[in-house]
Amino acid sequence: MTTEYNMMELMICVASRYLEDGKTVAVGTGAPCATAMLAQKMAAPNLVILFEAGGIAPMLPQMPISVGDSRTFFRGIMAAGMAEMMTTCCRGLVDYAFLGGAQIDRYGNINSTVIGDYYKPKVRFPGSGGANDFASLCWRTLVMTVHSKSRFVEKLDFVTTPGYLTGKGAREEAGLPPGSGPYKIITDLAVLDFEDKTKAMRIESVHPGVAVDKVRKETGFQLIVQEMVEETPPPTETELEILRDEVDPLRLIIGRS
């Protein structure tokens, strides 16, 4: 029999496996933070967590509500500021940026600014915040988002945060640091990465019980699909146990789905 888990638990467990031990990760609140916390308690005890407001390597006593609240530097090694964080990313010391996303396109560009006309938007979202900075400056950007046609779109209403922009070479052309860019997109249906030749989105693996066609159907653009598509290993008992008992006992995040 397989263990029961919900969509959010699945995404967090799967995503956490991509955070290597001994690396640095800049996270937002919510799922990305929970993911990094899980990774620390699993295979990456030496994963260094950074928060944009200035918190460095805290001993997180619980899930922070804000990327700036006091938990983000609780027993941290340093309580700094925004400039310290972003310049550390710009110097090349931060390996992963872990973002959420509203709209995303085939090159991993993200929209979190507006739906509709910029000057008179149908929906005004917060804007970049630190997302554009992290995705520009960190080496590898991971994105966690629900998989649907309304989110995976052919054309973004607004490119808030850079993925590979218009494809291979475009980041470098724009002046973004060479070697940086989107790494993995983790959704409730699949894990997606980017084909080297084109830097376009590709299915890396589909989650247990999810058909490739289902992923295609929920994506508003042409996905690259290899002949053999692997199945994502499901969350393990241990992952789920630690996630539920230690990372998010109040179910603030995993209770959402």
Partner 1 sequence: MEVVEKGLNQLFMDPDPDKAREFFAKKSRSMTDKRMTEKEAVEKFVPNGCFLAIGGFGAIRIPTAFIHEILRARRKNLGFYGHTSTHDFQLLCAGRCIDRVDIAYVVGLEARGLSPNARRVMESGEVQVCEWTNYALTARLRAAAEGVSFGIIRSMLGTDTLKMSGARVIECPYTGKKFAAVPAVWPDVGIIHVHEADIYGNCHIRGISVSDLELARAAKHVIITAERLVDNAAIRINPTRTVIPYYLVDAVIEVPFGSYPGNMPYLYYSDEEHLSRWLQAEKDPEEFKRFLDQYIYGVASFEEYLERCGGLAKMRELQRLEALVDR
Q: Which residues of 155-187 are buried (b: 16+ CB within 10 A; e: fewer)?
A: ebbbbbbbbbbebbebbeeeebeeebbbbbbbb
Residue 109 in contact with partner 1, rule: CB under 8 A? yes
Report how many residues bind partner 1 under the rule CB under 8 A.
81
Q: Which of residues 12-31 bind partner 1 (CB under 8 A)?
A: 22-24, 28-30
Compose the 66-105 pattern: x for residues touching partner 1 by CB under 8 A, - for all others: xxxxx-xxxxxxxxxxxx--xxxxxxxx-x----------
Minimum CB–partner distance for residue 108 and partner 1 (Å): 12
Helix 7-16 vs helix 31-41: angle between axes, to the nearest 10 degrees?
A: 50
Distances (CA, A) of 134 to 26, 176, 236: 7, 11, 30
3, 6, 59, 169: which one binds partner 1 (CB under 8 A): 59
Report the C-alpha gap between 25 and 34 in whole angstroms. 12
13, 18, 52, 143: which one binds partner 1 (CB under 8 A): 52
Tokens of 59: 């001993």
Q: Which of residues 31-50 bind partner 1 (CB under 8 A)?
A: 46, 48
Burial of 221 (0-12, 13-18, 19+ CB in 10 A): middle
Report the C-alpha gap between 235 and 35 in whole angstroms. 13
Q: Which of residues 112-141 bind partner 1 (CB under 8 A)?
A: 113, 118-133, 136-137, 139
Taking every pair of Cα atoms in the chain, the longest distance, rounded to a whole number of angstroms, is 53
Say whether 235 sits in a helix, a strand or coil: coil
94: Cβ contacts below 8 Å, ≥ 6 apart: 24, 25, 26, 50, 88, 134, 137, 138, 139
Q: Please identify, using beta-carbon distances, which residue of 153 and 176 lies nearer to partner 1.
A: 176
Neighbours of 73 (CB within 10 A): 22
Minimum CB–partner distance for residue 146 and partner 1 (Å): 16
Neighbours of 114 (CB within 10 A): 19
5, 42, 54, 186: which one binds partner 1 (CB under 8 A): 54
By annotation, the residues acting in catalysis are 52
Q: Please identify, using beta-carbon distances, which residue of 122 and 197 lies nearer to partner 1.
A: 122
12, 55, 103, 168: which one binds partner 1 (CB under 8 A): 55
Q: Which of residues 165-194 bind partner 1 (CB under 8 A)?
A: 165, 170-171, 173-179
Q: Which of residues 141-160 bind partner 1 (CB under 8 A)?
A: 158-160
Q: Please identify, using beta-carbon distances, which residue of 46 and 150 lies nearer to partner 1.
A: 46
Q: Please identify, using beta-carbon distances, which residue of 124 and 216 lies nearer to partner 1.
A: 124
Minimum CB–partner distance for residue 215 and partner 1 (Å): 27
Q: Which of residues 195-254 bind partner 1 (CB under 8 A)?
A: 252
Q: Please identify, using beta-carbon distances, which residue of 115 and 225 lies nearer to partner 1.
A: 115
Report the C-alpha gap between 82 and 212 in whole angstroms. 41
Minimum CB–partner distance for residue 11 and partner 1 (Å): 16
